[in-house]
Homo-oligomer: A and B are copies of this chain.
Amino acid sequence: MKDHDKVLLAHGGGGELSYRLIKDLLLPAFDNPVLKELDDAARLSSKNKRLAFSTDSYVVKPLFFPGGDIGKLAVCGTINDLAMVGAEPLYMSASLIIEEGFSLNTLKKVINSMERVARQTGIEIVTGDTKVVERGSLDRLFINTAGIGSIDADLDISGNNARVGDRIVISGTIGDHGIAVLSQREGFQFESKLMSDCAPLNNLVSRMVKESNNIHVLRDPTRGGVAAVLNEIAFQSEMEMLIEEKAIPVKDEVRAACEMLGLDPLHVPNEGRLIAFVAEKDAHSVLEAMRDDPLGKDAAIIGEVIGRNRPRVLLETLIGARRILFLPRGELLPRIC
């Protein structure tokens, strides 16, 4: 690899090479009129709607894994955060922090991944930033995205809105992302290639809110997995819920890998799954609508809200015992997203 194939400190320096990086790489990739203005802030029109705004930084290791890479992850992650309040994704920022010496070709692959998901979902990356830090100050590449979406006036979807009787629905198998990344990192082999579930969930959510206006909560079980998200919602809504372990879809490879590694699939992060709390009367029609979407084909009802004022998650295990499913403790899977 020659020097001109590498990101140099000067690419982050605000001078000529920075200008060229933007002109030659970022502008063509994220091509849209707002970004082209090249002002310090993007100017947006808002159409008098309520807005959603979210951010996440991505530090996944390795940068490329089965089913995705850090770029796809960074765009999907913020789209999904917006979708989880029922917002249609509109605008995104992208900020790259890159280690000196990083391959420009690899950077292009990542940028192209970002662009692909953005185009597919219709979100526009309208502003950005690039920093380069000296070798050894950062492990290769980290990405931050922030997003703005618009929320229809009649939607009120929040982790605070779970109600007694709500059915708890999951959109697909759990743990695929975490185990796919971990396997790549540690060099495990499976008979069949396990892919990350990393995907943008905005279309699935559109289908769901079209089907029912009784979706009370949406949340994507990323870091900390399903266990963390259910506990968060239990605390936010002050509700007690009961989950049936046997109803939770888990791929055989994921189950096997979790057993080998001493992990609970309920703690493993997902990047293209959502959990919905839906009023009992609409639960089955929402479930059917989800199954009509490729990203919801394995959707299942996994539990319900059974009482108020005692915020906790009960798990009916495979052998029929009931135990409390706690918020995960400690760092299970660093740099998984």
Contact = CB atoms under 8 A, between A and B. Distances in A.
Interface of A: 8-10, 12-19, 37-46, 48-59, 61, 80-82, 84-85, 87, 91, 93-97, 126-129, 131-134, 136-139, 142, 144, 146-149, 151, 158-160, 219-220, 222-225, 228, 232, 236, 267, 269, 327-335
Oligomer: number of copies: 2
Contacts of A128: 55
Most chain B beta carbons < 10 A, residue from A59, A96, A225, A329: A59
Contacts of A146: 53, 55, 93, 95, 127, 144, 146
Contacts of A96: 57
Most chain B beta carbons < 10 A, residue from A38, A46, A94: A46
A328 B41 contact: no
13 contacts: A9-B331, A12-B334, A13-B330, A15-B223, A15-B327, A17-B329, A18-B223, A18-B224, A19-B327, A39-B85, A55-B146, A59-B133, A127-B146
Contacts of A52: 41-44
A84 B39 contact: yes
Contacts of A84: 39-41
Given A40-B80, A80-B40, A144-B95, A10 B330 contact: yes
B14 A223 contact: yes
Contacts of A335: 133-134, 137
Most chain B beta carbons < 10 A, residue from A17, A55, A223: A55
Contact of A38 (B50, B222, B232): B232
A42 B146 CA distance: 11
Given A13-B328, A46-B50, A56 B147 contact: no
